Chains A and B, each alone.
Chain A
Amino acid sequence: SQTIHQWPATLVQPVGSPLSLECTVEGTSNPNLYWYRQAAGRGLQLLFYSVGIGQISSEVPQNLSASRPQDRQFILSSKKLLLSDSGFYLCAWRGTSGYNEQFFGPGTRLTVL
């Protein structure tokens, strides 16, 4: 069966520091992968998606970037964090059943101080 992992689970970083969040998927090949951000008490904002290794599409211009160095690995990065980057970051992969549902990881809670 397929599983999706995210780490770290929680992170507290000072403003201006770098960021690296990792997402890995097991049990599937060549998945579409997605990064979302959820601000406190709000809905989901799609940040990036990837249909294959090295292929990244950005949905929102900001100081974040994403990379996909391996088929089942998706990384979210920043060179300098802003206060507004605080939130709950969710990684997801698209299922292969034909229904186009997405399956989410457990998330990373990021607090920028």
Chain B
Amino acid sequence: AQSVTQPDIHITVSEGASLELRCNYSYGATPYLFWYVQSPGQGLQLLLKYFSGDTLVQGIKGFEAEFKRSQSSFNLRKPSVHWSDAAEYFCAVGAEQAGTALIFGKGTTLSVSS
């Protein structure tokens, strides 16, 4: 079955500390992988995406993610968290074919403490 697992429901990180959000996927085809962020009352904003090539991808707001095929993982990282990063983060998997629906994980809520 195709699925995305985000093992951490809620993470609290001190401002300035590093962050890693975990994502594991199960997908039958070559995966396209995404991380989206959602602030309260807002839609989802794309942070970064991986299609092929370099397995370390850079995104907006200083985020990066590394694709590890052997581990079926696509973990999101940030070296130094800012208070404005507090939000809900969703990992998603899709495919190359146009019209393929993205499958989302249940999300990880990030809280940032001062």
A binds B: no
